[in-house]
Amino acid sequence: MAKAGLLILTQPLSHLHSLILPIIKQASVVVSDTLYVFLQPALQNQQLSKSTFLYPLGFTKELQSFVKEFYLNSSRLCHNLDIRILLSHISSNPSAHIAVPYSLKKEVSVLLSDSVKFQDSWMQGKNSLTDILKTSFSNIKSDLSFSLLSIGSAESSSSSESEVLELLQTYPNVVLGGTFDQLHTGHKVLLTESCLRCDKKLTVGITDGERNKKKVLWELMEPYEVRWQKVDNFVKEVKPNIVLEAVKIFDPFGPTITDPDLQCIVVSDETKAGGASVNEERIKRGFSSLDMVTIELIEDSCHAEDEESKISSSSYRKRLLGTLLTQVPVKQHLDKCPYRLAITGGIASGKSNVCSELEKLGAKIVNCDLLGHKAYAKGMPAYHKIIQEFGNSVLGEDEEIARPKLGQIVFNDKSKLEKLNSIVWPAIRQLAEEEISGYKKAGAKVVVLEAAVLLEAGWDDMVHEVWTTFVSAEEAIRRLITRNKFNKEDAQKRLDSQISNVDRIARSNVAICPEWEFEVTRKQVEKAWSLLQKRITQA
Ligand SMILES: CC(=O)SCCNC(=O)CCNC(=O)[C@H](O)C(C)(C)COP(=O)(O)OP(=O)(O)OC[C@H]1O[C@@H](n2cnc3c(N)ncnc32)[C@H](O)[C@@H]1OP(=O)(O)O
C-alpha cells in the first residue's frame, strides 16, 4: 500500500458528484496516509502537455459543493486517510489566472485516476508522463505506479444550470480564526473555503493563552507551534499561490480589528455571531465591514454516545484518552517481564480507581503510598530520620508518625517537603523494587507502580511506560473539599505543590481523565489496557 497518492479526476464534476464515496473507498484501498486530490476536467479533451495540468478551473458553486462533499464523504467513512484537495489552479477569473506548481510534502508513489485515456498515456510512456507530472507537482516518485479507478460513470446531476456554473466572488485578503487543534475535516472545509475565496493573502488567527483553557480537555491540546505548523502545511500544499499569515490570537477579534485591508471573513455556523461582532468593532474603528462567508457545521458520523454530534476537536481529544500519546522509549536496563507500568497523577486525580481496574484486568499493583507508610513505621530507619528532622511533634499518641501532622508542615514549606522526600523516597524505591521482584518470581506479566509524584522523583527510569491520570483543577479542589475535608485554600496549596497536568502529560505515554462518571473512566482504562497488550505482544 502506498503512503501517499495523487488522485487525478478528469470527469465533469456533475458526473463525479454521486461517485465520491466509491472513489474514496477505492483510493483508501491503495493509499494509507495522504491522498492529494486534483480536479482537472481539461484532461478529458486536451492534449497532455506540461500546461494541461495547471489549466485554470472556474470557482463555481458546483465546484464549491463538490469539494465540500468530498471532504464530508471522507469523514463519513471514519478512516484515517488525510485528504487534501488541491486548489491553486481554481480561480474566479480563469482567463487571467496563472497557477503555480504544487509543492507536495509527502512523496507520491501512486497515481490514481478515473481516466482510461490517462491510463493509455501511462501504458504508452510511463516515463514521459511522470516527467510531465513532475513539472506540476513536486515530490513525485520516479518509479510511480498507476491505479485506474473503476467507478463507472453516473448520471449528470440535474442541477447543472447556469446557477451552479456561475463564478463565485473572491477577495484579495481573507481572514478566518480558530483553535485548529487536531486539524480535522471541519477545519479543512473551513480552510478550503477560505483558500478558494482568497486571491492574495490569507490571514489565519490561531487562538492561544487562557481562552484555550475553557475548552474540554484543553490539557491535551496541541501546542500552538504544532497547530500553526499543521495549518501552514495544509494551506501551502493546497494553495501555494497565496501568501499565508498565521497569527496568534488571544481574543475573539485578533487581526480583524487592526487590519483595515481585509475584505472577507470565513466563519462557521457556530462562529457567525463572532463574525458579526467583528464587523461592529470594525465600523466603530472606521474600517469597512467584512463580507461574511458561512460554512455549515459538519456532522461527525463516527461520534460516540458521549461525544458531540458535530466534528469537534474536543471529541478528537477525548479519543486520545487511553491511547499512546508518545512513543515508548526502549529501556535496556529493565527486564522485559514483568512489563512495568507507572500510574501517576495529581492529587485526587483518581489514580487508585484506575489501579483497581487494572488489577481486575490482571495487573499486580505496587502502591507507593502504602510503602511510604511502611518505610517510616515505628522502628524503621526513616522513622528516626523524620523525628530527627521534624521533631517529636509529628508523632501521634501511638508514637507512629502522624501523617496529617507531617503533611501540615511539609505542604506549607517547600524546603521541608524536599527534606522529607530526600528521607523517604530512597526507602520507598527500595521497597518497591523488592515488591516487583516478588511479583516477578510469582510470574506476573504486568506490574503497576502507583506513585503520586513519580515524575518529580525521577522514577520514570523504573518503568517501561508512564500513564498519568488528570482532572481539572476545579474538580480536584471539589474532591479535596469533600474527600479530605480541606478548605479551598489548603486544597489549592496541595495542588500548587505539584507539577501541572500539562507538564505531567508531556512526560507520560498515556493519559486517563477520570473527570466524569466512573463508567467513562473504566472504558478509558480498558482501551489503554487492550492497546498495551498489543504493544507488549509486539515487543
Ligand atoms: C515517588 C512517589 O510518588 S512515592 C508516593 C508518594 N509519597 C511520598 O512522596 C512520600 C512523602 N509523602 C508522605 O509521606 C505523605 O504524603 C505526607 C506525610 C506528606 C502526607 O500524608 P497524608 O496527609 O496521609 O496524605 P497522603 O499521603 O494521602 O497524600 C495526599 C496527597 O499529597 C500528595 N503527595 C504525597 N506525597 C507528596 C510529595 N512528596 N510531594 C507532593 N505531593 C505529595 C499526593 O498527591 C496525595 O494525593 P493522592 O492521595 O490523591 O495521590
Listed range (115-119, 379-383, 418-422) with the worst mean pLDDT: 115-119
DSSP 390-457: H-GGGB-TTSSB-HHHHHHHHTT-HHHHHHHHHHHHHHHHHHHHHHHHHHHHTT-SEEEEE-TTHHHH
Instruction: Give the containing element (helix H, strand E) for 315.
Output: helix 313-320
**SS3 state of residue 90:** strand
Of 122-126, 365-369, 416-420, the one with minimum mean pLDDT is 122-126
DSSP string of 334-390? S-SSSEEEEEEESTTSSHHHHHHHHHHTT-EEEEHHHHHHHHTSTTSHHHHHHHHHH
Say if ligand 1 is within 6 A of residue 105 CB. no
Whether the per-residue pLDDT at 155 is higher than 80: the answer is no
Dmax over Cα atoms in the chain, in whole Å?
Answer: 96
Residue 163 confidence (pLDDT) above 70? no
Cβ proximity of 84 and 35 under 8 Å? yes
**Which atom of ligand 1 sits closest to the CA of residue 498?**
41
Nearest atom in ligand 1 to 349's CA: 50
CB-ligand 1 contact for 491 (6 Å cutoff): no
Q: Which atom of ligand 1 is nearest to the CA of 424?
A: 10
Instruction: Give residue 453 CA to ligand 1 midpoint distance, Å.
Output: 8
Ligand 1 close to Cβ of residue 350 (< 6 A): no
Q: Look at the alpha carbons of 275, 277, 280, 282 in this order and tell me if their dihedral is positive or negative.
A: negative
Nearest to 192 by CA among 50, 311, 63, 300: 63
The grid cell for 461 is 527510569
Q: Check residue 302 and give its pLDDT.
A: 77
Residue whose cell numbers read 480498558: 526
Contacts (Cβ under 8 Å, ≥6 apart) of 458: none
Q: Is the CB of 421 under 6 A from ligand 1?
A: yes
- How much is the pLDDT for 375? 96
**Residue indicated by cell numbers 474540554:** 216
Question: What average pLDDT does this structure show over 122-143?
Answer: 92
**145 contacts 111 by C-beta, under 8 angstroms:** yes
ipTM: 0.96
**Predicted confidence (pLDDT) per residue in 466-489, tens digit:** 999 999 999 999 999 999 899 999
Q: Tell me, what amino acid is at 346?
A: G
Provide the grid cell at 76.
463519513
Lowest mean pLDDT among 84-93, 118-127, 136-145, 146-155: 146-155
Evaluate: CB of 348 within 6 angstroms of ligand 1: yes
With CA atoms as reference, report the closest residue to 109 among 32, 51, 166: 32
Strand order across the 171-178 sheet: 243-249, 198-207, 171-178, 264-268, 291-295
**Residue whose CA lies nearest to ligand 1 atom number 46:** 347
Q: Note the pLDDT tens digit of each residue in 226-268.
A: 999 999 999 999 999 999 999 999 999 999 999 999 999 999 9
Cα–Cα distance, 143 to 129 (Å, whole number): 11
Q: Stretch 78-83: mean pLDDT, rounded?
A: 86
pLDDT value for 48: 80
Kindly report the length of the chain. Answer: 539
193 by Cβ neighbours in 10 Å (0-12 / 13-18 / 19+) ranks as buried
Judging by DSSP bridges, how do beta strands 339-345 and 465-469 pair with one another? parallel
Q: Which residue's C-alpha comes closest to atom 45 of ligand 1?
A: 347
Bridge partners, residue 8, by sequence = 38, 113
Distance CA 192, CA 242 (A): 13
What pLDDT does residue 117 have?
A: 84
